[in-house]
């Protein structure tokens, strides 16, 4: 048997995309990462590891929503005008409450605590100032321009869920609730290596049969959009001994090992045999295009994703399987989120039964819908196609003809914003 050859009958093979994803997520559920405490400044994009139950109301006290005059709503005029003496002023951050009596009001700024007895703020643009008196006309509403204590978040309420990604706004929630730190899942340690005798770095002139290694940068970029800095990337020759040593070393150090290339049927495609030898192959090959030869395995407790070398196949399989895995290891609620949908702007046909992932533009039209138009360059080696795309459009397994307007799943590709 040639060294790279591994009879696929030994492993679960030719899985559906759904089956393969289910298996990947199940493997990650067994390996959920422990949590760690990080300062909020460093917590953006991290996955929360515990529910956040608010210890106090947010806002913590009733306060003015606008700059103006705080008063008793029952004293507002029903018709004509009424004069209120300005008894005190209350600025945001004022150290203590102020007193005011009937027929009086308190000058107040946005965010200042409502003085005891007040339940209404009349905005300053709506009053006439006459010395130390303000004149309020009919038409104002009792209770207006006040933010009651706890209107945003009540004490005891679950403000964030375990598994939530810490977006900028969620960092704000943590801080508002009095937390300077967040308990988040440990990030996966990821080893990334590219394989192939034909690869040379971008800065090197190409010799006969050589190409520049692009996967190192595109896959590295995919990881960085998830906030994961891979271990320094290795370039490995198509040499089983070098590959074996690198796989073992990476699996010892990392939670996830990602490789590109050497996973299909060529004489120098050693990955399936090596992963089987060093550990376990969970599955090899998924009924999809591009990316069919993807392999998922395990070595020494590390998850191994051997991605096909074609640059588009690499990125498509990363987005479909590796990204959810990296999120699931952190317990993210996004790992198994329902797919997004769009309509096909043009009719499509495929010549095979496999699921197909087409590179497409997404456009939001005046009808309120999002419409996907496949790009011209669809070859699995054509980086331009995926570089110009906003999404991958999923044409499901089985069906071959798709009408314009058909609703399909889409997978967003990480972009600039």
Binding residue for ligand MOO (CB under 6 A) from 215, 218, 259, 380?
Answer: 380
Strand order across the beta sheet in which 302-307 lies: 13-15, 280-286, 295-299, 302-307, 256-260, 190-195, 234-236
Size of the site for ligand MOO (CB under 6 A): 8
Is the Cβ–Cβ distance between 373 and 363 less than 8 Å?
yes
Nearer to ligand LQZAQKY5, 139 or 381 (CB): 381
Binding residue for ligand LQZAQKY5 (CB under 6 A) from 262, 324, 374, 385?
Answer: 262
- Binds 12, which of ligand MOO, ligand LQZAQKY5, none (CB < 5 to 8 A, cut-off by type)? none
Q: β-pairing, 280-286 with 256-260?
A: unpaired
Specify which residues 51 forms β-bridges with.
none
**Residue written as token pair 């090992």:** 257
Tokens describing residue 108 = 């107040």
Question: Considering the rule CB under 6 A, would residue 18 count as an interface residue with ligand LQZAQKY5?
Answer: no
Binding residue for ligand LQZAQKY5 (CB under 6 A) from 29, 129, 138, 265?
Answer: 265
The residues in 173-232 that bind ligand LQZAQKY5, with binding defined as CB under 6 A, are: 194, 196, 198-199, 211, 213-216
Question: Considering the rule CB under 6 A, would residue 308 count as an interface residue with ligand MOO?
Answer: yes
x/- string (CB under 6 A) for ligand LQZAQKY5, residues 292-311?
xx--------------xxxx
| In 47-137, beta strands by DSSP E | 52-53, 63-64, 68-71, 81-90, 104-108, 120-123, 127-130, 133-137
Nearer to ligand LQZAQKY5, 148 or 220 (CB): 220
Cis before residue 59, ω within 30 degrees of 0? yes
Is the Cβ–Cβ distance between 324 and 411 less than 8 Å?
no
Binding residue for ligand LQZAQKY5 (CB under 6 A) from 59, 150, 290, 297?
Answer: 290
d(CA 225, CA 13): 30
Q: Would you list the DSSP string of 157-207?
A: -EEE-TT-B--HHHHHHHHHTT-SEEEEEPPPPEEEEEE-TTEE-TTSPP-
x/- string (CB under 6 A) for ligand LQZAQKY5, residues 352-371?
--------------------
d(CA 125, CA 148): 22
Specify which residues 132 forms β-bridges with.
none
Question: Considering the rule CB under 6 A, would residue 310 count as an interface residue with ligand MOO?
Answer: yes
Nearer to ligand LQZAQKY5, 59 or 311 (CB): 311
Residue 240 sits at φ, ψ, to 5 deg, of: -55, -35
Question: Considering the rule CB under 6 A, would residue 311 count as an interface residue with ligand MOO?
Answer: no
Nearer to ligand LQZAQKY5, 111 or 266 (CB): 266
3-state secondary structure of 136: strand
Nearer to ligand LQZAQKY5, 269 or 356 (CB): 269
In the bound complex, what is the minimum distance in angstroms from residue 359's beta carbon to ligand MOO?
Answer: 13
Nearer to ligand MOO, 303 or 316 (CB): 316
Interface with ligand LQZAQKY5 by CB under 6 A: which residues? 194, 196, 198-199, 211, 213-216, 260-266, 269, 290, 292-293, 308-311, 313, 380-381
Interface with ligand MOO by CB under 6 A: which residues? 289-292, 308, 310, 313, 380
């Amino acid at each position: 048997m040639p060294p790279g050859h591994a009879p696929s009958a030994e492993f679960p093979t030719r899985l559906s995309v759904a089956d393969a994803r289910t298996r990947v997520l199940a493997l990650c559920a067994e390996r959920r990462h422990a949590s760690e405490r990080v300062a909020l400044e460093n917590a953006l994009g991290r996955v929360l590891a515990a529910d956040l139950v608010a210890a106090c109301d947010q806002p913590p006290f009733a306060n003015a929503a606008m700059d103006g005059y705080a008063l008793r709503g029952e004293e507002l005029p029903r018709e004509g005008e009424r004069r209120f003496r300005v008894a005190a002023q209350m600025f945001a951050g004022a150290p203590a409450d102020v007193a005011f009596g009937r027929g009086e009001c308190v000058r107040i700024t946005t965010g200042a605590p409502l003085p005891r007895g007040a339940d209404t703020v009349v905005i300053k643009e709506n009053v006439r100032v006459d010395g130390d008196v303000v004149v309020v006309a009919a038409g104002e509403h009792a209770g207006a321009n006040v933010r009651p204590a706890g209107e945003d978040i009540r004490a005891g309420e679950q403000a964030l869920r375990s598994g939530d990604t810490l977006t900028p706004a969620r960092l704000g929630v943590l801080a508002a609730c009095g937390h300077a730190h967040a308990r988040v899942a440990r990030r996966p340690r990821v080893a990334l290596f590219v394989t192939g005798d034909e690869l040379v770095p971008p800065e090197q002139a190409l010799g006969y049969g050589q190409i520049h290694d692009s996967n190192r940068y595109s896959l590295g970029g995919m990881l960085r959009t998830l906030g994961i800095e891979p271990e320094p990337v290795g370039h490995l020759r198509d040499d089983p001994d070098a590959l074996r040593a690198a796989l073992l070393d990476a699996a010892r150090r990392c939670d996830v090992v990602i490789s590109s290339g050497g996973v299909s049927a060529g004489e120098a495609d050693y990955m399936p045999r090596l992963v089987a030898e060093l550990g376990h192959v969970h599955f090899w090959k998924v009924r999809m295009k591009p990316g069919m030869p993807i392999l998922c395995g395990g070595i020494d407790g590390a998850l191994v994703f051997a991605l096909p070398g074609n640059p588009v196949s690499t990125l498509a399989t990363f987005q479909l399987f590796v990204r959810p895995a990296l999120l699931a290891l952190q317990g993210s609620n996004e790992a198994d989120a329902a797919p997004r949908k769009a309509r096909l702007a043009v009719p499509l046909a495929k010549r095979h039964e496999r699921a197909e992932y087409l590179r497409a533009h997404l456009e939001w039209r005046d009808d309120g819908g999002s419409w996907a138009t496949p790009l011209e360059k669809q070859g699995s080696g054509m980086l331009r196609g995926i570089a110009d795309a906003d999404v991958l459009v999923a044409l499901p397994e089985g069906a071959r003809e798709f009408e314009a307007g058909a609703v399909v799943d889409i997978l967003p590709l990480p972009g600039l914003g």
